Each structure stands twice: as C-alpha cells, then as structure tokens.
A and B are shown apart, each in its own frame.
Chain A
Amino acid sequence: AQSVSQHNHHVILSEAASLELGCNYSYGGTVNLFWYVQYPGQHLQLLLKYFSGDPLVKGIKGFEAEFIKSKFSFNLRKPSVQWSDTAEYFCAGHVNTGKLIFGQGTTLQVKP
C-alpha cells in the first residue's frame, strides 16, 4: 500500500540546535515528495519539494531535504533552528492518481 511515515511525532530542541526529521515513503512509480509546514494559527505552506534531479533540495528559511532512493527516505534538515521554526511539519508524497499522501506530522518545539 502507498504510505508515508514520519518517525518523530514530537521534537523539542533548543535554539541553534540542528534538526533532522525523518520521512519514509512506500510506493513505486514516479516519486514526488514534499515537506509542508504549518505554523501556529496559519495554514499549510510548502517548505520544499523534490521531483527529480539533484537529490539534495533546498527550501525556504534554510531548510533542506535529501532524497535517498535506496532508503526510500526524504529527511528534512536544518543546521540551526530558531524559535520561529516552532511548527508542525508534514512529509507528503504525490501519487499519479493526483492526491497527496501525508505522514502523521511532527510537532517541533524550539525553546528560546
């Protein structure tokens, strides 16, 4: 079955710490992967995306993600988090039927 899973449900970090959020997908065919972010009180925003080409993709606000086909992974990283990165993060995969399949989400809390 097609699925996307996120390993960390709740992460607490101090400012300036490094971040890595895990995401694994389980489906074949063309792989289009996304990370979305939902800041408190705001709607979902696209953070970054991978369609093809360079497996290391850079997004907004210093985030990046690496697509590793052999591991079916698309982990999100940021070298130094800020308090303003406190949000919920969702990994998603696009299947050729049109819909997005989302992971369960990871709540990131950054302590000032």
Chain B
Amino acid sequence: DAGVTQSPTHLIKTRGQQVTLRCSPKSGHDTVSWYQQALGQGPQFIFQYYEEEERQRGNFPDRFSGHQFPNYSSELNVNALLLGDSALYLCASRGRGGRVNTEAFFGQGTRLTVV
C-alpha cells in the first residue's frame, strides 16, 4: 500500500491562475481532508470530503473548492491565485466515515508557489 499519494509534488503558478491538486487516499479509506501549511506554521484545515460531499469546511474563501470521486480520490481547486496561497498543501485520509477515533494518514504534500 503506497499510503496517501498526492500529485504533483511541486507546482509554480502565476497570480490569477487556477490550480488543481490531486490526492489518492490510503487503501480502504473513504474520507479525505485537505490542509494548507504555510511556511513555519502548522497545517490549517481547508475542508473534508466524505461520500462525494463536502462535510466540513475551515475558514477559507470560496476560491478554494474540492471534489471527491466515487473511488474516494479527491481534488483541491484554487481559483484566482494570490501570492498568499503559496504553501504546502496536505491531503489526509481516514477510514470509516472520518470518525474522530480513526487515525488520519497524511500525504507528502504538494508545494505550490505563486509568483
């Protein structure tokens, strides 16, 4: 099992552009969460997907949107990129509907740089 996989690993975009990041959860997991980690900060919760629906959302603008597919993989889309969106984007998966007492497994992240 490769665990949680994210693609791409690095990405450079221009301000105003749109970006899509991808995540494949660990085998057997059905819930995917996305986090933004700015340099020197802890990860910040963006949103969580379960059964192809957004179940919870953190304090992020509507420019951040997502999707979950029937195979449980997920995408994070960011529109109208700002310089402040430059960060490491982490995907985490859980099993059994994302209940708190199941362990979250993290991917290696996608490093997004907006210039």
A and B interact: no
Residues of A participating in the B interface, judged by any CB pair closer than 8 Å = none
B residues neighboring A (CB under 8 Å): none
